[in-house]
Chains A and B, each alone.
Chain A
């Protein structure tokens, strides 16, 4: 029945006088990889935050897997987010005093129950099993982002939302992280990825370009 996994209907998001998203319509099918591009301040992060249920639209409807979450309160959004969505941030956002493994366990802890073997398995997937007991400060940027990807995967979400995941990485690490996204895409995960890099954008099934809170161009591959 659910043709669409994400559906935004005339979403508007204002910050005071600034309208970050304006009458925004956006649909994503399950398993799709959508790249979002656009100049700085065009509303990419705002869009992603709404999709991630980190933020609520000023008006409009947002159907996530068929459920209208636009009017959900904070705790309800938290619950639906941890069930369905994995997040990867540009600034990694790892807890500095927890080890790589513990940072992954944390996501699992808030989702269900912790299982070290499972957490270790995702670390293996991102090739960081030997850094499990290291603190984020002891890891390189690329390694930190790989931990973040592992953390986003631990609860097996259907949707991965990534805001410039390679923005702080060099080319080598960018390639490594990009490869994970390709693998995830292959496995049928829905991916929404914000990027400034056209090469990365082209990895998706389509690119949407934003400008002043509106979609100005759509490119399908």
Chain B
């Protein structure tokens, strides 16, 4: 009988129920897409920033323009930190080299490691893949533009005195928005040869698997163990990461709560209209012996059905919407995050309870005698 009542009651109120389901559906679609987007983007951002970008700088204790560190310091670092913790480590050597037209900063790095450190730099063409490759280079975008260079072009790099030179092929052009855009990157041994600085490096950049304060501890530890170096944990990356996530969290919270409030109001209006429409029925049921509890259970089942159907339809739709957002705003596909389901359900349960309070109170307080007297 209970099921029959529910079924017939729903059939009788199709339109209002449809409005309720639709409202939940829209709400869930937007809310779940935002949650999905948020979790996906923050997860990806975390992954991205975790595995790339240098977080450690090791230079000479005494500052000078000419490099004072021996390249053996890299082995020393690897030994001290232990290989497992180091994601990437590359030496850096800077110097002015001559090109066919003018000068440029020549940077010596260890390409396979350097690539791991700076993977987020967009590159046209490819990175130099081997450490011993002395025939290829990577140049910055600004330099490439001023010299009309393309990937595959050749470029000869000369020492200042023109005694040494190396004919190179451009393998890739990077665009960083930083000074690297004006530089020529080659493997360290070639740079050392051109610049006449055999065995020397200016500093090393590392990506070490450490978090928060661990990084500071490691820096102090390195400086103590290798007295002639200066070690710095770079906070810049994790700081900006935190900033972006923070503002994203704020924005998402704001949007989600706005939508939840709107949805609650619409749902409340719908449920109140449903109660008003049925005041006679409710009064009659009470007159026939229905306790408030059975009226309540009747309502509860209906609300749960509305919310459930809306949610079940809304979550896939929300995923599709998240894809659209992801494609247009973040230019990336969004993968489905399971956490969306409990999160959305929790939000919807809260919404349903809030939206139902007023209508249910009305049903409770209904003056049976009065309502039954109405024509």
Q: Which residue of chain A has the shortest Cβ distance to B289 in the bound complex?
A: A82
Residues of A within 8 A of B286 (CB): 74, 78
Question: B372, A110: Cβ atoms under 8 Å?
Answer: no
User: How many residue pairs between the two chains, A and B, have CB atoms under 8 Å in the bound complex?
Assistant: 65
Known: A96-B12, A106-B5, A110-B285. A54 touches B292 (CB 8 A): no
Task: Report if B354 contacts A (CB, 8 A).
Answer: no
Question: A81, B287: Cβ atoms under 8 Å?
Answer: yes
Task: Report if B373 contacts A (CB, 8 A).
Answer: yes
Give bound CA distance, A75 to B5, whole Å: 21
Task: Report if A45 contacts B (CB, 8 A).
Answer: yes
Known: A54-B369, A54-B372, A110-B289. A93 touches B2 (CB 8 A): no
Residues of A within 8 A of B281 (CB): 95
Give bound CA distance, A114 to B2, whole Å: 10
Task: Report if B11 contacts A (CB, 8 A).
Answer: yes
Task: Report if A212 contacts B (CB, 8 A).
Answer: no
Task: Report if A111 contacts B (CB, 8 A).
Answer: yes
Task: Report if A126 contacts B (CB, 8 A).
Answer: no
Question: A54, B294: Cβ atoms under 8 Å?
Answer: no
Task: Report if A55 contacts B (CB, 8 A).
Answer: yes
Q: How many residues of A contact B (CB 8 A)?
A: 28
Task: Enumerate B235-290 residues with CB–CB distance to A below 8 Å.
Answer: 280-281, 284-290
Task: Report if B79 contacts A (CB, 8 A).
Answer: no
B2 to chain A, nearest CB (A): 7
Task: Report if A79 contacts B (CB, 8 A).
Answer: yes
Give bound CA distance, A212 to B335, whole Å: 75
Pick the interface stretch among A59-67, A97-105, A186-194: A97-105
Residues of B within 8 A of A105 (CB): 1
Task: Report if B4 contacts A (CB, 8 A).
Answer: yes
Task: Report if B375 contacts A (CB, 8 A).
Answer: yes
Question: A110, B284: Cβ atoms under 8 Å?
Answer: no
Query: Which residue of B5, B287, B289, B373 contacts A79 across the interface (Cβ within 8 Å)?
Result: B289
Question: A78, B291: Cβ atoms under 8 Å?
Answer: yes
Question: A107, B288: Cβ atoms under 8 Å?
Answer: yes
Give bound CA distance, A78 to B288, whole Å: 8
B1 to chain A, nearest CB (A): 4
Task: Report if A89 contacts B (CB, 8 A).
Answer: yes
Question: B372, A93: Cβ atoms under 8 Å?
Answer: yes
B253 to chain A, nearest CB (A): 42
Task: Report if A26 contacts B (CB, 8 A).
Answer: no
Give bound CA distance, A15 to B286, whole Å: 22
1/0 per residue A9-50: CB within 8 Å of B?
A: 000000000000000000000000000000000000100010
Residues of B within 8 A of A75 (CB): 291-293
Task: Report if A58 contacts B (CB, 8 A).
Answer: no
Give bound CA distance, A151 to B288, whole Å: 9
Q: Which residue of chain B has the shortest Cβ distance to A45 in the bound complex?
A: B373
Task: Enumerate A109-167 residues with CB–CB distance to B below 8 Å.
Answer: 109-111, 114, 151
Task: Report if B51 contacts A (CB, 8 A).
Answer: no
B209 to chain A, nearest CB (A): 65
Task: Report if A91 contacts B (CB, 8 A).
Answer: yes
Task: Report if B9 contacts A (CB, 8 A).
Answer: yes
Residues of A within 8 A of B294 (CB): 110
Question: A93, B280: Cβ atoms under 8 Å?
Answer: yes
Question: B369, A110: Cβ atoms under 8 Å?
Answer: no
Question: A114, B369: Cβ atoms under 8 Å?
Answer: no
Q: Which residue of chain B has the shortest Cβ distance to A155 in the bound complex?
A: B289
Query: Which residue of A49, A79, A97 contacts B291 across the interface (Cβ within 8 Å)?
Result: A79
Task: Report if B368 contacts A (CB, 8 A).
Answer: yes
Give bound CA distance, A29 to B249, whole Å: 74
Give bound CA distance, A45 to B371, whole Å: 13
Question: A81, B289: Cβ atoms under 8 Å?
Answer: yes
Give bound CA distance, A196 to B284, whole Å: 24
B360 to chain A, nearest CB (A): 15
Question: A110, B9: Cβ atoms under 8 Å?
Answer: no
Residues of A within 8 A of B291 (CB): 75, 78-79
B10 to chain A, nearest CB (A): 9
Query: Which residue of B8, B290, B369 contacts A55 across the interface (Cβ within 8 Å)?
Result: B369
Which A residues form the contact surface with B (CB < 8 A)? 45, 49, 52, 54-55, 74-75, 78-79, 81-82, 87, 89, 91, 93, 95-98, 102, 105-107, 109-111, 114, 151
Task: Return the 3 tightest CB-CB contacts between A and B, nearest first.
Answer: A82-B289, A110-B289, A97-B12
Which B residues form the contact surface with A (CB < 8 A)? 1-2, 4-5, 8-9, 11-12, 280-281, 284-294, 368-369, 372-373, 375
**17 A-B pairs (CB sep. < 8 Å):** A49-B369, A54-B368, A55-B368, A78-B289, A78-B290, A91-B375, A93-B284, A93-B287, A95-B281, A98-B8, A102-B8, A106-B1, A106-B288, A109-B2, A110-B285, A114-B1, A151-B288
Given pairs A54-B369, A95-B284, 7 additional interface contacts (CB within 8 A): A74-B286, A75-B292, A78-B286, A97-B11, A109-B1, A109-B5, A110-B289
